[in-house]
């Protein structure tokens, strides 16, 4: 049994990933008709509006001022770099390829969590993450004849996203998750507005407008869920859950964009998804072991007595 806190974090992370992959699909559809900067700016503005309504409805209006905290601003900046590099990758690569390469993020996040957060990672979990990363490399196929330089974009996004996730753990619990997500949306809206200096913006037609509105909604919900996840579960436990993006991206890629992965893409995807499922299983087993240990300790200790015997000091020898 996984403890309640980590379990909520795991469920929130899976839901967040479903929101983000839907957001990616809607952005890729809009990219066919509108420039990248305009899409990110309008999407982020729509997401900020949704988050503002949620903040006010939850009675956290005064907490908006906390969005200016240094750690919140740092996370917003890192998320901005992550978004720009990943959306650029979406504009030139198939969605399944971009998503699978981005799956290097769990490995990077786990590696950074050890020195930056002091988390311990078991050998088996490292193996699972490395297997997942190997699957991403198979999809990328970094050989001189097949390598596409644009494949580096989702890798860069993965690195920046890992730093963003690590920084989330350093934000005070006093700051509501909705405010953290609101700060990110506002930062992205303002930063992407700079693209208007060299892009030709125009009023979107109905279909891209609906895509942008849907993207803003899923972007807002995904950010709220991800902040909640990283605050309620260890980084090493929920980072591999990014792997659930891969089957979703393959489904969307085939149904919407008519992109069918080749043999190498399928093999890499199997490794990526298998590693994610194994990590979830390991976390469940660890939760069961901890629960049994607590139950055993409670059964041994007398009711109302401390779990360990008091330490007595012998008188000094003369």
What pLDDT digit, counting tens, does each position of 4-37 carry?
567 788 888 889 988 998 998 999 899 989 998 9
| Residue-averaged pLDDT of the chain | 80
In this structure, is residue 299 part of a structural domain? no
Give every CB contact of residue 48 below 8 A, 6+ residues apart in sequence. Answer: 182, 185, 186, 189, 220
The pLDDT of residue 313 = 43
160: which 2 tokens? 């920046």
What pLDDT digit, counting tens, does each position of 35-89 carry?
989 999 999 999 999 999 999 999 988 889 888 889 999 999 998 899 889 888 8
Top pLDDT among 169 and 301 is at 169
Polymer length in residues for the chain: 318
Helix (H) or strand (E) holding 13: helix 4-31
In this structure, is residue 37 part of a structural domain? yes
What pLDDT digit, counting tens, does each position of 196-241 carry?
888 899 999 999 999 999 999 999 999 889 888 888 877 767 776 7
DSSP 244-301: GHHHHHHHHHHHTT-----HHHHHHHHHHHHHHHHHHHHHHHHHHHHHHHHHHHHHHS
The pLDDT of residue 147 = 56
Is the CB of residue 291 less than 8 Å from the CB of residue 1? yes
In terms of residue numbers, what domain contains 45?
A: 4-288
In this structure, is residue 298 part of a structural domain? no
In this structure, is residue 300 part of a structural domain? no
CA 17 – CA 283 distance, rounded (Å) = 19
In this structure, is residue 284 part of a structural domain? yes
Domain count, the chain: 1
In this prediction the pTM is: 0.70
195: which 2 tokens? 């693209």
In this structure, is residue 302 part of a structural domain? no
In this structure, is residue 214 part of a structural domain? yes
In this structure, is residue 268 part of a structural domain? yes
């Amino acid at each position: 049994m996984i403890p309640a806190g980590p379990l909520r974090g795991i469920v929130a992370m899976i839901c967040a990933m479903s929101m983000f992959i839907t957001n990616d699909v809607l952005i890729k559809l809009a990219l066919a008709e509108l420039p990248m900067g305009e899409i990110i700016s309008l999407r982020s503005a729509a997401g900020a509006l949704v988050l503002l309504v949620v903040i006010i409805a939850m009675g956290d209006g005064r907490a908006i001022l906390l969005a200016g905290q240094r750690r919140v601003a740092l996370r917003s900046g890192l998320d901005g770099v992550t978004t720009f590099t990943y959306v650029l990758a979406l504009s030139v690569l198939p969605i399944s390829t971009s998503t699978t390469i981005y799956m290097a993020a769990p490995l990077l996040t786990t590696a950074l969590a050890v020195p930056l957060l002091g988390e311990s990672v078991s050998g088996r979990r490292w193996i699972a993450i490395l297997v997942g990363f190997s699957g991403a490399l198979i999809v990328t196929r970094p050989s001189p004849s097949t390598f596409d330089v644009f494949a580096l974009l989702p890798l860069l996004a993965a690195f920046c996203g890992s730093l963003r996730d690590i920084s989330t753990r350093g934000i005070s619990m006093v700051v509501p998750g909705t405010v953290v997500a609101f700060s990110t949306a506002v930062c992205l809206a303002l930063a992407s507005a700079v693209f208007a200096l060299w892009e030709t913006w125009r009023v979107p037609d109905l279909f891209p407008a609906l895509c942008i509105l849907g993207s803003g909604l899923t972007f807002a919900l995904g950010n709220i869920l991800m902040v909640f996840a990283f605050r309620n579960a260890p980084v090493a436990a929920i980072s591999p859950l990014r792997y659930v993006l891969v089957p979703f991206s393959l489904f969307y890629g085939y149904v919407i964009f008519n992109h069918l992965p080749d043999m190498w893409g399928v093999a890499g995807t199997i490794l990526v998804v298998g590693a994610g499922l194994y990590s979830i299983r390991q976390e469940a087993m660890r939760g069961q072991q901890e629960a049994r240990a607590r139950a055993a300790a409670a059964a041994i200790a007398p009711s109302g007595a401390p779990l360990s015997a008091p330490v007595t000091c012998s008188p000094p020898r003369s």
